[in-house]
Chain A
Amino acid sequence: MEIPHVVEVHPETGIANAKLGLWLFLASEVMLFGALFSSYILLRVAAVEWPIGSTILSVPMATFNTLVLIASSVTVVMSWVSLKLNDFAKYRVYMGITIVCAFIFLVVKYFEYTAKFDHGLSPATSTFLAIYFTITGLHAIHIIGGIVVNGYLLGPGARMWKTDPEQFTGRVEAAGLYWHFVDLVWIFLFPVLYLL
């Protein structure tokens, strides 16, 4: 038994199964983060006082993390392009850099979090910090998810390059889409929580 359109695109949608599935998943993710951002707006509008993010949070650290994520977005595209150009060695390099960037992001995030805890700041301190920890925490879980997926595609999953290069390239593309989404969430998070 063979499932149609695993590799070859569907004539009506113009894409294969995995990509359509991933776009749908991202639509659901948009609703999830949309609900959290809406909660942020409702809480802030109703609040008697609301701190400016930059007075509590570290803007330099977050700026650095923004640059790291944008760089990783570029490298994940390059890894996919490398596969399209049939250059598997370059794919490994670029995918490796993407994963390293993700780890750098998490390390910086770890120092940010611990600095807050050291000053006795936690989700119980204020609603602002509560939403900060919730949204950035959820985002960090998504980063970890990305590391797992990209790590699989760099490690054991890469065996598929030999057996079915087309499907493997499709998987890398889907993982790349997800990774862009995770970066994009951060692009919204950064100004909303740190700057406004």
Chain B
Amino acid sequence: MSDEHHQELSWVRKYVFSTDHKVIGIQYGVTALFFLFFGFCLMMLMRWQLAYPGQPIPLIGSLFSDSTAPGGIMLPEFYNQLGAMHGTIMVFLGVVPLAVGAFGNYVMPLQIGAPDMAFPKLNMASYWVYFLGGVVMLCSFFVPGGAAQSGWTSYPPLSSIASEGQTWWLVGMLFLIASSLLGSVNFIVTILHLRAPGMTMFRLPVFVWAQLVTSFLLLLAFPALQAASTLQFMDRVFGSSFFLPSGLVVGGEALAVSGGGSPLLWQHLFWFLAHPEVYVLILPALGIVAEVIATNTRKPLWGYRSLVYAMIFLGFMSFIVWAHHMYMTGMGTTMSNFFQTTTMIISIPSVVILTALIISLWGGAIRFTVPMLFALAFLPMFGIGGLTGLPLGLATPDIHLHDTYYVIGHFHYVVAPGTIFALFAGVYHWFPKITGRQMNQTLGKLHFWTSLVFINGVFLPMFWQGMAGVSRRLYDQTFYAHGAAVQDLTIISSVSVWLLGLAQLFFIVNFFRSIFAGPKVEDDNPWQSTTLEWATPTPPPHGNFLVTPTVYRGPYEYSQPGVEADFTPQNIADGNIADGGTTPGRS
């Protein structure tokens, strides 16, 4: 590696407009954690209205303006804004940027032994375009009429006639889509071209495979929403009628548009993105869990190749299941039949992945570290999320369950105690490499157990509410007798949400305390892991590796027969195994 251009970068180039994938990863991580917390706060507000409809919000109620919550009592319009923006922020500004932008950016190049991403400047652009998209979304709360309020799905014609905030939402989405396009091109080229010598495709850690499949999904699915957002933008700004049918009446008056459009068209385009997006949320999480499980069971992952093939198949299938979100739109039984068949097929690779991870635990000498606890909890939680999805994927039971709290319970089990738990596992797992300090294990365990209990308190009651027929979009479900009958469950959910919010204080305190005062890690490889990110100095310098590593073996060679140490890093040649798998290039 040539260092002839080595010169001290200015503070701005080093920490703000940096092209180093690790700095960009941290920028993504911090921004995404902020948005996760912000989106969670929106939800904590909504849960007050749901549990105690029409009562003033305690403590902070007086802070709200008359156009949102006069006297602390939330207006229905504001409730709708909170709901739409909670979904948008959590998915597009929180979970995906954390799973892909942060962990993908920081860890993936290290795991493949690359000095940086293939296009460092594009990488920087990707972050800043994402940042702008986030700013636009936040600003939309302050425009006349407030933020978007047509749900995160923005179905027309409701969204076409909504207030100005919806236009801001569309512009924000176009920024986020551009950002993800730049990112996904960069990820794929990096994984295909920048692997270290000896790092064949089937020696890649599962996390890298997950990022590769995810990038293809982002690359090929997001353009559909880009097209849809452009069309809706045309409808709203230039008066076209792509999604407005003829003869539409709003507020008792015929709408003055040419008509001839199709609201269903939006749904097709939207879900063509948004179903692969579900796998964008879950695949990196599965990758993190695979890394954490392999490290903490001290044995190779079971069925590495099955895992990889299942992920590729999952990625492919995710493009042809989208209309299972649309059984109730009257698109016809032939379409429903096709999409319920593909939906049942896509559950097979999901089960393969989950089974491989569960069997990986078998006979392992499990270390119950904090990341491992989160990874272990991920398995049954994701399982519940997946299994409760089956009735929704079949057209007939979906007639009863569609758009009820059952749906909310189902996908939150996949994304919240599923993906977000996996992301917590990732934070606890890679924190020592990123900062050079360990997080506190006691606070971590408190965080884990309280989160596990309360998050189930939030989402488990929703299955019963949904089966009782309560619609997910109601501002006040006690208005209806069937809703009032299960109001107790709503209160359990709400109280659990607030307690879950409190439980996150353990994480926040631990996170910031450990950055400055956590015990320093003695070793570059504190978890005694096999993958390449642990073969760098701690924290890794610009350019990552002191010498370009050469890879001699697969990613999970733990407890190999005839080897004294219970782990053999990927960059150790056969002749050097005897010295206990020590790491070359140690700082």
CB A18 to nearest CB in B, in angstroms, measures: 8
CB B566 to nearest CB in A, in angstroms, measures: 33
| Contact assessment for A12 and B192 in the assembled complex, using a CB-CB cutoff below 8 Å | yes
The distance in angstroms between the C-alpha atoms of A1 and B22, with both chains bound, is 14
Give the residues in chain B near A138, CB-CB below 8 Å: 230
B219 beta carbon closer than 8 Å to chain A: yes
| Contact assessment for B223 and A35 in the assembled complex, using a CB-CB cutoff below 8 Å | yes
Per-residue 0/1 for A87-121: is the Cβ within 8 Å of any B Cβ (1 yes, 0 no)? 00000000000000000000000000000000000
The distance in angstroms between the C-alpha atoms of A73 and B3, with both chains bound, is 41
Per-residue 0/1 for B332-376: is the Cβ within 8 Å of any A Cβ (1 yes, 0 no)? 000000000000000000000000000000000000000000000
The distance in angstroms between the C-alpha atoms of A20 and B188, with both chains bound, is 9
Per-residue 0/1 for A124-137: is the Cβ within 8 Å of any B Cβ (1 yes, 0 no)? 11110011011000
A184 beta carbon closer than 8 Å to chain B: no
| Contact assessment for A21 and B542 in the assembled complex, using a CB-CB cutoff below 8 Å | no
The distance in angstroms between the C-alpha atoms of A39 and B234, with both chains bound, is 14
| Contact assessment for A29 and B265 in the assembled complex, using a CB-CB cutoff below 8 Å | no
| Contact assessment for B260 and A123 in the assembled complex, using a CB-CB cutoff below 8 Å | no
Question: With A39-B231, A130-B241, A138-B230 as given contacts, are A3 and B223 in contact (CB-CB < 8 Å)?
Answer: no
| Contact assessment for A35 and B224 in the assembled complex, using a CB-CB cutoff below 8 Å | yes
A27 beta carbon closer than 8 Å to chain B: yes
Which of A40-48, A63-71, A159-167 is the interface stretch? A40-48
The distance in angstroms between the C-alpha atoms of A146 and B155, with both chains bound, is 34
| Contact assessment for B238 and A5 in the assembled complex, using a CB-CB cutoff below 8 Å | no
The distance in angstroms between the C-alpha atoms of A79 and B258, with both chains bound, is 47
Per-residue 0/1 for A4-22: is the Cβ within 8 Å of any B Cβ (1 yes, 0 no)? 1100001011000100110
B550 beta carbon closer than 8 Å to chain A: no
A74 beta carbon closer than 8 Å to chain B: no
B329 beta carbon closer than 8 Å to chain A: no
| Contact assessment for A131 and B242 in the assembled complex, using a CB-CB cutoff below 8 Å | yes
| Contact assessment for B265 and A127 in the assembled complex, using a CB-CB cutoff below 8 Å | no
**Nearest A-chain residue to B3, judged by Cβ:** A1
Give the residues in chain B near A126, CB-CB below 8 Å: 258, 260
The distance in angstroms between the C-alpha atoms of A178 and B183, with both chains bound, is 19
| Contact assessment for A28 and B242 in the assembled complex, using a CB-CB cutoff below 8 Å | no
CB A144 to nearest CB in B, in angstroms, measures: 16
Give the residues in chain B near A56, CB-CB below 8 Å: none
Near A by CB (< 8 A), chain B positions 529-562 give 542-543
| Contact assessment for B231 and A32 in the assembled complex, using a CB-CB cutoff below 8 Å | no
Task: Indicate the size class of the contact surface on chain B.
Answer: 35 or more
The distance in angstroms between the C-alpha atoms of A130 and B265, with both chains bound, is 15
The distance in angstroms between the C-alpha atoms of A48 and B259, with both chains bound, is 11
**Nearest B-chain residue to A20, judged by Cβ:** B189
B163 beta carbon closer than 8 Å to chain A: no
The distance in angstroms between the C-alpha atoms of A131 and B235, with both chains bound, is 11
Which of B10-18, B115-123, B428-436 is the interface stretch? B115-123
Question: With A1-B1, A25-B181 as given contacts, are A123 and B239 in contact (CB-CB < 8 Å)?
Answer: yes
Give the residue of A3, A21, A48, A131 whose beta carbon is less than 8 angstroms from that of B185.
Answer: A21
A31 beta carbon closer than 8 Å to chain B: yes
Chain A interfacial residues counted at CB < 8 A: 38
B386 beta carbon closer than 8 Å to chain A: no
A61 beta carbon closer than 8 Å to chain B: no
CB B9 to nearest CB in A, in angstroms, measures: 12
Give the residues in chain B near A12, CB-CB below 8 Å: 192
| Contact assessment for A17 and B193 in the assembled complex, using a CB-CB cutoff below 8 Å | yes
| Contact assessment for B185 and A25 in the assembled complex, using a CB-CB cutoff below 8 Å | yes
**Nearest B-chain residue to A35, judged by Cβ:** B227
The distance in angstroms between the C-alpha atoms of A1 and B3, with both chains bound, is 6
The distance in angstroms between the C-alpha atoms of A42 and B267, with both chains bound, is 12
**Nearest A-chain residue to B260, judged by Cβ:** A127
The distance in angstroms between the C-alpha atoms of A123 and B240, with both chains bound, is 5
**Nearest A-chain residue to B246, judged by Cβ:** A48
The distance in angstroms between the C-alpha atoms of A43 and B231, with both chains bound, is 12
The distance in angstroms between the C-alpha atoms of A196 and B257, with both chains bound, is 25
Question: With A1-B116, A17-B189, A134-B231 as given contacts, are A127 and B241 in contact (CB-CB < 8 Å)?
Answer: yes
Question: With A39-B231, A124-B258 as given contacts, are A10 and B192 in contact (CB-CB < 8 Å)?
Answer: yes
The distance in angstroms between the C-alpha atoms of A14 and B239, with both chains bound, is 48
| Contact assessment for A17 and B118 in the assembled complex, using a CB-CB cutoff below 8 Å | yes
Per-residue 0/1 for B237-249: is the Cβ within 8 Å of any A Cβ (1 yes, 0 no)? 0111110001000
What would be 5 A-B contacts, judged by CB atoms less than 8 Å apart?
A1-B542, A17-B119, A25-B181, A29-B223, A138-B230
Residues of B that sit less than 8 Å from A by CB:
1-3, 114-116, 118-120, 122, 181, 184-186, 188-189, 192-194, 219-224, 226-228, 230-231, 234, 238-242, 246, 257-258, 260-262, 265, 268-269, 272, 542-543
In addition to A1-B3, A138-B230, 12 A-B residue pairs with Cβ atoms within 8 Å of each other are A3-B118, A4-B193, A4-B194, A13-B192, A21-B118, A21-B185, A25-B181, A32-B227, A36-B227, A43-B260, A123-B238, A126-B260
